[in-house]
Amino acid sequence: MSDSGWAFTRDYTAAPEHIDELGHVNNAEWVRWIQDIAVSHWHAVSPDEHRDRFIWVVTRHEIDYRGNIKAGEVAHGRTRVHGEPKGAQFGREVQFVDDTGKVLVAAVTRWAMLDKNTMRPQRITPEIAAPFRADD
């Protein structure tokens, strides 16, 4: 994952409830943050009619844990879609970096788009995919 082309960013501050017995952010919390930044990206860029009609579900997470933070420290999250949509699925890259830019957590995830009414997979059209792109 390169440092350019990130479409959406959001900061996460480690709270005491995020800390495990090792004294740093628990892996389960990183997964929550991965999901949160993806959903936040969707809500930030998609038009109301898409948010009203569709919902996303994770079909795969691949996560590399390279560092960590302690309570009170901030992880700077960044995300972008990964590759082209395939049917109802879209890949996404997520990174969390510390204040120095060191990558703490890097993930590649796969999401499927569902129709909210039927809960059936729906093909991702170019119109739906367009808002996810950074300034390509």
Instruction: Provide the residue ranges of all domains of the chain, joining segments of one domain with +.
Output: 8-132
pLDDT at 1: 40
pTM: 0.91
Architecture of the structural domain at 8-132: Roll (3.10)
What is the overall mean pLDDT for the chain? 93
* pLDDT at 134 exceeding the cut of 70: no
* pLDDT at 87 exceeding the cut of 90: yes
How many percent of the chain have pLDDT more than 90? 88
d(CA 39, CA 104): 20
Residue range 106-111: mean pLDDT, rounded: 97
Residue range 1-14: mean pLDDT, rounded: 81
Residue range 83-98: mean pLDDT, rounded: 95
Are the CB atoms for 38 and 78 separated by under 8 Å?
no
